[in-house]
Amino acid sequence: MTEEQINSNNGNYSAENIQVLEGLEAVRKRPAMYIGDISVKGLHHLVYEVVDNSIDEALAGYCDHIEVTINEDNSITVQDNGRGIPVDFHEKEKKSALEVVMTVLHAGGKFDKGSYKVSGGLHGVGVSCVNALSTHMTTQVFRNGRIYQQEYECGHPLYSVKEVGTTDINGTKQQFWPDTSIFTEIVYKYEILATRMRELAYLNAGIKISLTDLREKDEEGNYKQEIFYSEEGLKEFVRFVDSSREHLMNDVIYINTEKQGTPVEVAIMYNTSYNENIHSYVNNINTIEGGTHLAGFRRALTRTLKKYAEDNKMLEKAKVEIAGDDFREGLTAVISIKVAEPQFEGQTKTKLGNNEVMGAVDQAVGEALSYYLEEHPKESKLIVDKVILAAQARVAARKARESVQRKSPMSGGGMPGKLADCSSKDADECELFLVEGDSAGGSAKQGRDRKFQAILPLRGKILNVEKAMWHKAFESDEVNNIIQALGVRFGVETEDSKEANIDKLRYKKVIIMTDADVDGSHIDTLIMTFFFRYIPQIIQNGYLYIATPPLYLCKKGKTEEYCWTEQQRQKFIDTYGGGSENAIHTQRYKGLGEMNPEQLWETTMNPENRMLKQVSIENAAEADYIFSMLMGEDVGPRRDFIEKNATYANIDA
């Protein structure tokens, strides 16, 4: 139901009421249409949707503290110290404004809050959707010295808004119990919520967001809790994202201004790596496909740096033509803008389309950057020298690529000799297995279904691209084999572009298959790093997977069972174990090579039985930080992360 329908439906209370119910029923019938999906993402999206309303209140200047709590029973409470949702009688809807907000789709935006609505989750569906998808929801408003309350079941009010007490605070408190019959995943993950709350705190300086998990206590009996607060906003965000890299200079180039009515905030750092990492946001939404704001930023960066270098006669000795990409090697930046009526385009609706924004960002960045360069000659020289180095490396990369394409040991059709291709040419059904080691590769070749499964064995650890210049990657056999087998091309748009083109992608499932041990996990990470930095579209489109070979084969007499977890193994032992001599009948598979081709097919490759883990990027800035941390020089943070997240480190210890 659209807002227009609600508005034109003057006065007819009962008819209107029915329509409202239909609106929420629609959400329950097709939840994915409103919140993206009904698994992990959708479940957590409910929290974001509620928090976004409080963020809006904060951006309007009336709230500076938001408390998010995961309760013991896995319900969520969000409380803010804003003005409180209005509770007065809504003339058009003939009910309390609070009830309208909670039960009418998209009703939130109808209030004039004295500032444009800049927040709103990607789907921006409003709190009524959360209500519709919750078996129970309780809303309390602290306002005018009173506490008002209403409760709902699946979006339907249980009673009219009532007063339940007095108070000396202001704000809104929401508690909801997600409907476990709708969601396929029903347990909240602390880390997922923490990542988004941390991001929101950086994006909205001055707002304190606390996250408490009442399901978990530490040794001292304290609940797990973090408080996210950023005084300096993006300036701190960019430092966090870049904290594992070696900086070219210490300064953060920081811009916080408004151009043509568009608030523009940008933070820039240069590091000694060879990657470009730009994270862009519109109204707190991560625009992973970029758009006009990103285009404006790049244009200003290229133009301003080029002009500075030329004016100071710094390019003459370089002897190479500088291209746009060269200015962004080793650049980490976060761009956050607010747009009153954003137009989102692209496959995942995360590409900003508003044309007027390009000029605003271009102007803001151009002015601030040229000022910075003039004021900081020492830092400016470091940047320009790095740009020249990037240009020279880029020319070397092109030569390496060309020579690979000429001399490479390709079999017919330009494919690497080690690739055992499948017979189908339909990318939609084709799968490429990247397999650790030649011996496992051999088993996989024998065990596979050759119609749609192709095998590319990789020798040991592939190059750590996090630390390597681009031309080194193109000189590596393993990297080249992957690129060739996939049919991915670089330098299509412009000859020297680092952007991968996947128009001719030959497989829409790329499956990393490595041993179930620490080394295997390391190889998984190296390969994921390669895709994340070089061909991120493969991850963004959901084409990258990790195979999960079993950890154990349990045997008792003629009974054989594969087990993927310690619990499954224990269950087998409990069921069949008997005497103590029988209990040790489990075999720990460490290498894929220990399975014969039939076993490998049955457990790990056969689409009927196998379990694949799809690689996705929940949060690009966090992923950027984690990859650089895992692959970087600093041992401390890496050890902490592995201790917290490792699967095999514990089993094998």
> Among all residues, which ones are annotated catalytic?
436, 515, 517, 519
Q: How far is the CB of 208 from ligand 0RA (least distance, A)?
A: 15
- The answer to whether the beta carbons of residues 524 and 461 sit under 8 Å apart is no
Q: How far is the CB of 77 from ligand 0RA (least distance, A)?
A: 13
What beta strand segments (E) does 508-616 contain?
509-513, 544-547, 552-556, 559-563, 586-588, 612-614
Interatomic CA distance for residues 360 and 273, integer angstroms: 29
CA 554 to chain centre: 38
The residue range among 41-49, 51-59, 308-316, 405-413 that interacts with ligand 0RA, by the rule CB under 6 A, is 51-59
Closer residue to ligand 0RA (CB): 82 or 366:
82
The residue range among 1-9, 81-89, 184-192, 348-356 that interacts with ligand 0RA, by the rule CB under 6 A, is 81-89
Query: Which of left, alpha, beta for 339 (phi over 0: left; psi -120 to 50: alpha)?
Result: beta
Q: How far is the CB of 625 from ligand 0RA (least distance, A)?
A: 30
- The answer to whether the beta carbons of residues 16 and 6 sit under 8 Å apart is yes
Q: How far is the CB of 57 from ligand 0RA (least distance, A)?
A: 4
Closer residue to ligand 0RA (CB): 97 or 502:
97
Closer residue to ligand 0RA (CB): 84 or 520:
84
Q: Helix, strand or coil for residue 100?
A: helix
Closer residue to ligand 0RA (CB): 131 or 172:
172
* Residue 80 is a binding residue for ligand 0RA (CB under 6 A): yes
Binding ligand 0RA (rule: CB under 6 A), the pick from 35, 53, 327, 630 is: 53
State which H helix or E strand residue 210 sits in: strand 208-217
Q: How far is the CB of 108 from ligand 0RA (least distance, A)?
A: 7
Interatomic CA distance for residues 375 and 380, integer angstroms: 9
Task: Report strand pairing: 344-345 vs 351-352.
Answer: antiparallel
Binding ligand 0RA (rule: CB under 6 A), the pick from 85, 331, 400, 539 is: 85
Kindly write out the interface string for residues 148-177 of this chain, putting x where it contacts ligand 0RA by CB under 6 A and - elsewhere. ------------------------x-----
Q: How far is the CB of 78 from ligand 0RA (least distance, A)?
A: 8
Looking at residues 98 to 117 of the shown chain, list those that interact with ligand 0RA (rule: CB under 6 A): 111, 113
State which H helix or E strand residue 318 sits in: none
Per residue, the 3-state secondary structure of 151-163, as one string, reads EEECCEECCCCEE
Token reading at 443: 């088993």
Closer residue to ligand 0RA (CB): 53 or 262:
53
The residue range among 84-92, 366-374, 453-461, 549-557 that interacts with ligand 0RA, by the rule CB under 6 A, is 84-92
Task: Report strand pairing: 544-547 vs 509-513.
Answer: parallel
Binding ligand 0RA (rule: CB under 6 A), the pick from 31, 36, 54, 99 is: 54
Token reading at 199: 């991001």
Q: What residues contact residue 534 under an 8 Å CB cut-off, 6+ apart?
A: 465, 473, 498, 500
Closer residue to ligand 0RA (CB): 83 or 398:
83
Q: How far is the CB of 58 from ligand 0RA (least distance, A)?
A: 9
C-alpha radius of gyration, the chain, whole number: 28
Closest CA to 125 of 45, 189, 184: 45
Q: How far is the CB of 82 from ligand 0RA (least distance, A)?
A: 4
Q: Helix, strand or coil for residue 227?
A: strand
End-to-end CA distance of the chain: 58
Closer residue to ligand 0RA (CB): 85 or 182:
85
Number of residues near ligand 0RA (by CB under 6 A) = 12
* Residue 83 is a binding residue for ligand 0RA (CB under 6 A): yes
Interatomic CA distance for residues 347 and 290, integer angstroms: 12
Sign of CA dihedral 593, 595, 598, 603: negative
The number of CA neighbours under 13 Å toward the Cβ of 27 is 29
Closer residue to ligand 0RA (CB): 82 or 233:
82
* Residue 49 is a binding residue for ligand 0RA (CB under 6 A): no
Binding site for ligand 0RA (CB under 6 A): 53-54, 57, 80, 82-86, 111, 113, 172
